[in-house]
Amino acid sequence: MTALALAAISGVSWGVSDFIAGLAARRTRVLVVLWVSQAVGLLLSALVLVVTSPPRPPTDDLAFAALSSVAGIGGLAAFYRGLAVGAMSLVAPLSAAGAALPVAVGIARGEHPGALQLVGVLAVLVGAALASLERDQRGSAASLAPGVPYALLAALGFGLFFVAMDGAADRSPSWALAANRVTGVTILTVAMVVARPSLPSGDVRTLAPLILIGFLDTSANLLYATASRIGLLSLGAALASLYPVVVVLLARFFLAERLRRAQFVGVVATLAGVALVTAAR
């Protein structure tokens, strides 16, 4: 499977995970959602590490993995909160602006995507921006919508995550994922001890979504880490940013969040951009 396909699948997996997390964060504190899902991810990443048994990478790679966890945890905390207090169809696309950071870093490193691929990357970013536009009922420009500040913080965190994970996965995506999850669970456990939030009940309907979030998010991380190792950072990050389109579509079908014309055009532009990035090799 090519790097572009892996990155695209990771974007879909992130999108489904984020949609479920947004719903969970409306009933459960974001810190608890993160802690449970990251703990599940730690178990899954440990299993992957045992099965694959890769050689231990240099300390620099592990340091990048730890940095990716700090950025990712911060981005997810802001993102989940934004999804909980704002419209998912607005918050999710806006957070995809973080893809601009790894694209810029990749080009600065000397990566040379093809012309059509660059057009595709631009379409993904512009499409995400269009999908985030919202107007009030009178048709004039709306004020800053609930969730937007969180979406912007999430974009910064996700952009830093993409760059750091690319550096962490140079030699071993499995080790990068494991180090990322160890760091994340450690940070969140300290936060849990300090904040002492009430834990979710042990019934299946409460825990199952949190477990599923951890499985999907960790799988997406592993797929992206592998894609960034064998492909171009700029293209992989753009395709991994498919997640807002998935969230918007799921919110439309399951929550009846309606897309305005500009948002619909943005979703179509994003999908067209993904098609260009994938086809123009």
* Paired tokens of 54: 């890769």
Segment 233-257, tens digit of pLDDT: 556 666 666 788 888 889 888 988 8
Tens of pLDDT, residue by residue over 66-110, are 999 999 999 999 999 999 988 887 788 778 777 777 767 777 778
Residue 153 is predicted with a pLDDT of 93
Among the listed ranges 20-29, 32-41, 204-213, 237-246, which one has the minimum average pLDDT value?
237-246
Binned at pLDDT 50, 70 and 90, residue 144 comes out as: low
Answer yes or no: are the C-beta atoms of 142 and 134 closer than 8 Å: yes
CA 256/CA 172 separation, integer angstroms? 42
Residue 238's CB: how many other CB atoms inside 10 A? 36
Q: Mention every residue, 6+ apart, whose C-beta is less than 8 A from residue 234.
A: 102, 103, 105, 106, 107, 111, 113, 121
Comparing CA positions, the residue from 212, 229, 189 lying closest to residue 57 is 229
Distance CA 277, CA 118 (A): 8
Give the pLDDT score at 132: 61
Nearest CA among 83, 88, 89 for reference residue 131: 89
Task: Compute the chain's Rg from CA coordinates.
Answer: 18
Q: Give whole-number Cα distances, 251 to 60, 101, 148, 155, in Å.
A: 40, 27, 17, 20
